[in-house]
Structure 1
Amino acid sequence: MLDSPEDEVLLKACEAIYKFAEKGDDNKMNLLGLGAIPRLAKLISHEDKQIHMYATMAFGVMSTNSEVRKSMRQLNFLPSIIACLAPDDDVVVHELATLCLASMSIDFTSKVEIYEKGGMAPLIHLLSSPDPDVQKNSIECISNLVKDYVCRAALTEINGIFPVLNLLSSEYPVIQHLALQTLITITTDVESRKALCRIDGHENLLQVLDTPEFGDLHADTLHILSNCLEEAQNVTIIRDSGALEKVLVFVATSTYPEAQKHATSAITRSARSTSETRHIFHQEGLEKVLVMLLGINNDAIRIAACEAVSVMSEDEASKETFRTERGIVQVVPLLMSDDVEMKEAAALALANLTTANSSNASAVFDADGVEPLVKLLSEPGDGIVVNAAATISNLALQEPIRARIQNCGAMTAIIEPLKSSNPVVQSKAALVVASLACDANGRTELRNVGGLEPLVELLHSNNDEVRRNACWAVLVCGKDEPTTAELCKLGALEILQEINLSSNRKNSFSDAAVKRLLDHNTALKYCLTGYLSSTDVIADGFYDPGRIKPGMKVLTLEEFSNQEMNQHRPILLINAKRTDGQQGTGLSVEEKLSDAPSVVSNRFPSSKSYSKEKTSRSV
């Protein structure tokens, strides 16, 4: 019948097929098997309006079946369907044509084809149709289309955002939800976010939030506003309209955890963009909102809030506000969470809060944050260790807190991070050593727990920051003779000398570290540099093995004593200590030296013979 040359037959056939297909998927499949699809496709553009209408209606109903759509995609029918969207066509045709396009737009290939065939503009026009079914089908199709980047850009270019916003006032919830889903998708695009705020679209969204009856729409609405806040430009626009504070209040008080999490993450991304944006958020009281979010019993929200605190802490005023709003007190307990991501986020927040801020460091100490931070150094996650180490380094700048950190076993805990294969962990671990080894107790503990060896190993690192921080730590550790002796025994001096020979590897601490190590070993200093300063004290145990080339290992007296006798010049040793039997006997220098180990040097003869003999005679 669909092939009949008679219009009346065609009309009755199309009408019958429409009614038959409307009754269920089985009927649609039967019609598909009978070959109705290609015949109906030809009749969509029939010159008879009634045939055109029923053919379109039948085709639209048939398109709701996935198997039928597969067959439809083999046909070039979309131009005919899009032509049905013309303003002068019947509302019923609009309804079924948009239903067909909405169904077809589920498939990516059809999305592209609908756009390329010019379907976007008439669909946007039909959003203002007086018929709710036409509106619903049109916005559903657009919602599917904008999942493709090209279609999102096209919607913005043809000013399609405003008609979508108008649907938020629809009396039909399904239309409102589809409009919100469309806006959520398009505001993932930078230009679309900017365009929405330029036309004051945020005002439409705030009206939804202000309407209690629209409570089921609040989560999606907050999602869209959050996307808009990612642009610094939009933050300024919303602030200038007086709406930013209201948005932040909705974030804090929303009963939708997922919306709160998304909003907080979006604010974090926005705050990270510019210092001006952070300043605006500070002025609008974001810190207080974040502290409220930290108190919510939801791990995802608290993690997002910690991340926001970390970013906002780049602003000094925000650091102070977080402390006065008791934000630090809220963050510290999160260090003991069972959630790995939570511990990492909390430690990062504290690291940023305490950077160059002694008051915040004291607040962490007062909140009993030291012990959990030290425990985090033993966590398997590198991110946790890095953030905890950074915080500990900040706290250790204050002597009372440093003592507490040491008492909690930080030197023992830092050994494994020093041995890590992760350069960031190594770097932060070396900083912890530098911050804790500035007093005798810290250095003694570091020696006792075997921390010097992995520290010296870091001097070999090819990572500039690791090598620099390791040199810094060695510089700090070289403040006393026992630690210096152990460092030299481990080869730190030779490694540092080698570093200083390279213009690419040397740093501001490597040269200072060499000087520091030599300050506590006048013998080494003399044989390496050839001179002693007026402040250097020649004490018992001073020896001169001869001039040593840079990079060569300097043996200890014990190591020299274990060597076989050879032809090289004897080593000059200062030993002014008297045994009990020698008190007051007035032994000569030669007799005193005879009590020292019989050692000789296998080094090259020294060019400093005269100065050494002079030194010997003066003892």
Structure 2
Amino acid sequence: MGVGETTKLEPEPEPEPKDVHRHQEEEEEDDDDVEEEDEGLSDTRTAIALGLSAKGKGQRQRQQQQECAVVQQVSDKLVSGSLQWKIEAAREIRKLVRKSPSSSKTRSRLGAAGVVQPLVFMLSSSNPDARYSSLLALLNLAVRNERNKVKIVTAGAIPPLVELLKTQNSSIRELATAAILSLSAAAPNKPIIVASGAAPLLVKILNSGSVQGRVDAVTALYNLSTIIKKNSTELLNASAVSPLINLLKECKKYSKFAEKATALLEILSNFEEGRTAISVADGGILTLVETVEDGSLVSTQHAVGALLSLCLSCRDKYRELILKEGAIPGLLRLTVEGTSEAQDRARVLLDLLRDSPPERRLASSVLEKIVYDIAERVDGADKAAETAKRLLQDMVQRSMEQSLNCIQHRAASCNPSVIPST
């Protein structure tokens, strides 16, 4: 399986225990035992249902009260207990969240009970167990809880997390990466994380981390990229290209992970160092071409955007490299099947590629076959010929328009004094 298909980006709560709905099953069995010949049957059913409902509600209330008491005990240990008590309390938080029938409510109760600040303080402890247990507790509090994410960052978690990204302890470093990933999903946290200097450290993890660490780093960088200007190097540098290409090679091109990786590559294609790194990376351009052919609507749009950025920056430098990897068939298909943005990008790139020397141009018979195959997949065999004809006419029209524009441009720049008189 591909990287994007097998890894978990955030810790998942354990499945709901099987006996949660046991009282409901008992209600249904009790109802089935009532004889329908009895007078006042509906009243009896209503009384039983109300009684059992009240019983179930009472049980839930007692469970909530017990959990609230445990939450308060955990909070007290974290606030005023010894270091060992705090470590035990942090471990208890993880257990509470993972084993709770309603983990979202448990996260909210823990966040409201004041456990976040002492857990953040533990991140800077010299005790490895304290750092490890607090990281796990904060991760479980942050997952799927926007308010807790913001609380954790407001409490000052980012500076110690950035320091933990530098540690030689791979387990701690991987947990810190996962924590940055989770916290970066909340919009208010993104500027704080970018300003902290976390991004260059995440790029380093792309080059040297475990598979899980690299996947988490990609997702965190993708989350942060939404506030970065299109051509900014504040988030990414060219050293991110090679690991991104390698990860993209390994994953399914239509996966969500591929969408994130290609989005980052498109950002990198907007400055010269990034474009050069893509062109010299082992299989860099080929991997983007393969994504154009096999990717989702989102990943194909990013992939063709990256290729277009290369070709627009210097056609003479990149056009031959793109043609060499067989980009034409995928681009032709994209003009029909992609998003409107991807279709426009594919058409512009095709126009740029058709400016290549004659020996690099497709023979008309090959081009017609490619277009016909695309039309057959899109509209079926019955309408394939008509669709293919329309596509070819559109390509010819665009080529003629481009040639006319070139002629007009040359005429406009021509010196009138050298134009022969008639």
Cα distance in 2 for residues equivalent to 1:222 and 1:251: 15
The answer to whether the 8 Å contact 2:335/2:346 transfers is no
Q: Looking at CA atoms only, which structure, 1 or 2, has the larger radius of gyration?
A: 1
- Could you say if the C-alpha distance between residues 425 and 300 of structure 1 is closer, same or farther in structure 2, counting changes exceeding 3 Å? farther
After TM superposition, the runs of 4+ consecutive aligned structure 1 residues lying more than 6 A away are 150-153, 227-230, 492-501, 513-517
Cα distance in 1 for residues equivalent to 2:160 and 2:175: 12
Cα distance in 2 for residues equivalent to 1:263 and 1:249: 13
The answer to whether the 8 Å contact 1:335/1:346 transfers is yes
- Could you say if the C-alpha distance between residues 220 and 356 of structure 1 is closer, same or farther in structure 2, counting changes exceeding 3 Å? closer
Look up the match of 2:198. 327
SS of 1:412's equivalent in the other structure is: helix
Cα distance in 1 for residues equivalent to 2:170 and 2:137: 15
1:474 and 2:350 matched: no
Give, in angstroms, the shift of residue 344 of structure 1.
Answer: 1.9
- Could you say if the C-alpha distance between residues 355 and 320 of structure 1 is closer, same or farther in structure 2, counting changes exceeding 3 Å? same
Give, in angstroms, the shift of residue 222 of structure 1.
Answer: 3.1
Cα distance in 2 for residues equivalent to 1:471 and 1:347: 27
- Could you say if the C-alpha distance between residues 161 and 206 of structure 1 is closer, same or farther in structure 2, counting changes exceeding 3 Å? same
The answer to whether the 8 Å contact 2:116/2:155 transfers is yes
Cα distance in 1 for residues equivalent to 2:377 and 2:356: 21
Which amino acid in 2 is paired with 1:452?
I
Look up the match of 2:73. 204
The answer to whether the 8 Å contact 2:200/2:236 transfers is no
1:537 and 2:411 matched: no
Give, in angstroms, the shift of residue 349 of structure 1.
Answer: 1.7
Cα distance in 1 for residues equivalent to 2:399 and 2:292: 25
1:108-187 mapped onto 2 (5 Å cutoff): 155-157=59-61, 159-162=62-65, 164=66
The answer to whether the 8 Å contact 2:200/2:235 transfers is yes
Look up the match of 2:319. 443
Cα distance in 2 for residues equivalent to 1:436 and 1:468: 17
- Aligned-residue Cα RMSD (Å) equals 5.1
Cα distance in 2 for residues equivalent to 1:481 and 1:519: 11
Cα distance in 2 for residues equivalent to 1:349 and 1:402: 22
The answer to whether the 8 Å contact 1:411/1:449 transfers is yes
Which amino acid in 2 is paired with 1:291?
V
Which amino acid in 1 is paired with 2:306?
V
1:501-520 mapped onto 2 (5 Å cutoff): 518-520=397-399
Look up the match of 1:390. 263
Give, in angstroms, the shift of residue 517 of structure 1.
Answer: 7.2
1:234-253 mapped onto 2 (5 Å cutoff): 238=111, 243-250=115-122, 253=125
CA deviation map 1:438-497 (0-9, x unaligned): 221333321133222333244454xx54x7525423324424652599489535888999
Instruction: Name which of 240, 243, 257 aligns with 1:372.
Output: 243
The answer to whether the 8 Å contact 1:231/1:270 transfers is yes
TM-score of the pair, normalised by structure 1: 0.44
1:44-83 mapped onto 2 (5 Å cutoff): none
The answer to whether the 8 Å contact 2:259/2:298 transfers is yes
Instruction: Name which of 303, 308, 313 aligns with 1:429.
Output: 303
Instruction: Name which of 513, 521, 526 aligns with 2:400.
Output: 521
Cα distance in 1 for residues equivalent to 2:57 and 2:131: 31
Look up the match of 1:406. 279
Which amino acid in 1 is paired with 2:244?
L
Instruction: Name which of 406, 418, 426 aligns with 2:292.
Output: 418
Look up the match of 1:189. none
Cα distance in 1 for residues equivalent to 2:103 and 2:225: 26
Look up the match of 2:32. none
Cα distance in 2 for residues equivalent to 1:406 and 1:488: 27
Look up the match of 2:8. none
Cα distance in 2 for residues equivalent to 1:298 and 1:252: 14
Cα distance in 2 for residues equivalent to 1:386 and 1:151: 49
Which amino acid in 2 is paired with 1:218?
A
Give, in angstroms, the shift of residue 334 of structure 1.
Answer: 2.0
TM-score of the pair, normalised by structure 2: 0.60
Instruction: Name which of 324, 328, 337 aligns with 1:452.
Output: 328
- Could you say if the C-alpha distance between residues 380 and 151 of structure 1 is closer, same or farther in structure 2, counting changes exceeding 3 Å? farther
SS of 1:217's equivalent in the other structure is: helix
Which amino acid in 2 is paired with 1:244?
V
Higher relative contact order (CA 8 A, sep 6+): 2
The answer to whether the 8 Å contact 2:308/2:349 transfers is yes
The answer to whether the 8 Å contact 1:336/1:372 transfers is yes
Give, in angstroms, the shift of residue 242 of structure 1.
Answer: 5.5
Look up the match of 1:221. 92
How many percent of aligned residue pairs carry the same amino acid?
17
Aligned length, in residue pairs:
340
